[in-house]
Amino acid sequence: MIKPLGKRVVIKVAETEQTTKSGFVLPSSAKEKEQFGEIIEVGPEIVAEDNVAVGDQVFFKNYSGTEVEFDGVEYLIIEHKDLLAKIEHKDLLAKIEK
């Protein structure tokens, strides 16, 4: 697994299907990446006061972090300061692929 350094987290970005009004399903390469996902790992400088942990679903800033691929899965390594909010809405959480 990927273990981030410092005050960073590893996020598995959500992949949602997008359908046009005419019913065509857009491939992920034809649309912008989602700005939310699940925290998979946290760095050693993340403390309880940072209010994030493995398993949390979060929104993050657009164009932040570094995309990496590990074992055929794409992840985003992002600094804690670029996290915007935790997600607690069940309908939105269902869209995040585990």
Task: Give 18-57 pLDDT, tens digit per residue.
Answer: 666 777 766 655 555 668 899 999 999 999 999 999 999 9
Neighbours of 69 (CB within 10 A): 8
- Radius of gyration for the chain, computed over Cα atoms and rounded to the nearest angstrom: 14
Q: What is the rounded CA–CA span in Å between residue 28 and residue 25?
A: 9
pTM: 0.76
Nearest-5° angle of CA 47, CA 49, CA 64?
Answer: 75
Return the closest-CA partner of residue 84 out of 53, 57, 59. 59
